[in-house]
Amino acid sequence: MRASLRIAVAATLLLTAACSAAPAPPPAAPARVVGYFADWGVYARDYQVRDVADSGAAARLTHLVYAFGKVTDGRCTTSNAWTDHQKPVPAASSVDGVADTGPLRGTIGQLRELKERHPRLKVLWSFGGWTGSGGFAAASRDPDTFAASCHALLTDPRWAGVFDGIDIDWEYPNACGLACDTSGPDALARLLAALRSRFGPDAVVSAAVPGDVGKLDKAHYAAASVSVDWLSAMTYDYFGTGGGTGPTAVHSPLTAYPGIPRSTATAGSTVDKLLALGVPPGKILLGIGFYGRGWTGVTAPTPGTRGTGPAPGRFQAGLEDYRVLRDRCPPSGTAGGTAYAACGAEWWGYDTPETVKAKMGYARSRSLGGAFAWELSGDSATAELLTAMADGLR
């Protein structure tokens, strides 16, 4: 009995030691809070890099994405040299309060100042976009040359150290956007693999992907996800005013609701599709549009009726920023997890801090990697939507 007891005690001690030596599971990666900064916003919208800091957004962002660079002849190029690095920024618009005097000016110079003030903030340069995706077909035919050109541009000595990585916004690989692409289902994956190889493991590489579940069948997004830190699902613009009279519908529903024009045109359907394709949940970011889409000539306050055409917008008919709509046409209800508003003859659908926070709860429940905003100039002066995004992901 004594010998048996000693053996049992020894076995227990060995088991305890083995368990204590077993490595603890790695902690979950912090949620990514990503915001796009559009290069054209510094003009008519008068949204400067300084506003990212002054609004409080910079302190809440993990990554800021500068949009857009161009893809020309299969290579990364600047979109507008004057805006990017030549335009002198006066003291009143400068992050550091000092007028530009050095050789690096423009938005990239301001991004350098923003990073100096917020050293934990990562900055990416995005290439492509709705009107700038035509060059990706040529790039996909020689991914290595494309990747080398992008690396050379991002590490240009004039702004070395500003960019921590690259974002690809191809709308859409092997599918139709502004034009139709026939590069093949593997084109995006090969492009991203070349970028990862050229930029190395420590750089951030990301890509925007369509919200349309049909387009997600056209390319191998699981293969694409292998090379990236995340894929940004464009879970907005499911419905808009391109059809003229409607029916009215919130453009960024999380779930289907009675009367929705297409039941699969929801953020939830997009996430389900990406997961079904094999994309890891931690590599999916949920997209939030910081703007609304609306109609005029509408006689019913709830979604599903018709108007006479797009509602007036400052820069585009049928589209307006949250910062304007919150006061001009306050929300009166929700549909599919997104707010809608009826004011006079106008009807708008847009996200609010309350619906954004609820959507972040959904992102957490699906173990997604975080969320991103398109784009920061649409937020209020105190970054209400971005704050709701960051707080909701905690």
Residue 190 has pLDDT above 80, yes or no: yes
Q: Which residues does the annotation mark as catalytic? A: 171
pLDDT tens for 203-228 read 999 999 999 999 999 999 999 999 99
pLDDT tens for 117-148 read 999 999 999 999 999 999 999 999 999 999 99
User: What's the confidence (pLDDT) of residue 80?
Assistant: 94
- Quick one: residue 56, left, alpha or beta (phi over 0 = left, psi -120 to 50 = alpha)? left
Confidence bin at 95 (pLDDT 50/70/90): very high
Exposure class string for 68-91: b at 16+ Cβ within 10 A, else e: bbbbbebbbebbbeebbbbbebee
User: What's the confidence (pLDDT) of residue 16?
Assistant: 44
User: What's the confidence (pLDDT) of residue 23?
Assistant: 54
pLDDT tens for 321-347 read 999 999 999 999 999 999 999 999 999
**From CA 270, how far away is CA 241, in angstroms rounded?**
21
Residues 144-168, mean pLDDT to the nearest whole number: 98
Residues 291-303, mean pLDDT to the nearest whole number: 96
Residue 268 has pLDDT above 80, yes or no: yes
Contacts of 239 (CB under 8 A, 6+ apart): 249, 250, 251, 261, 265, 293, 349
One-letter amino acid of 138: A
Q: What count of other Cβ atoms lies within 10 Å of the Cβ of residue 311?
A: 26
Residue 81 has pLDDT above 50, yes or no: yes
pLDDT tens for 37-56 read 999 999 999 999 999 999 99
Any idea where the domains of the chain sit in the sequence?
30-289+352-392
pLDDT tens for 13-39 read 433 444 444 455 445 678 999 999 999
Q: Classify domain 30-289+352-392 by CATH number.
A: 3.20.20.80
Contacts of 119 (CB under 8 A, 6+ apart): none
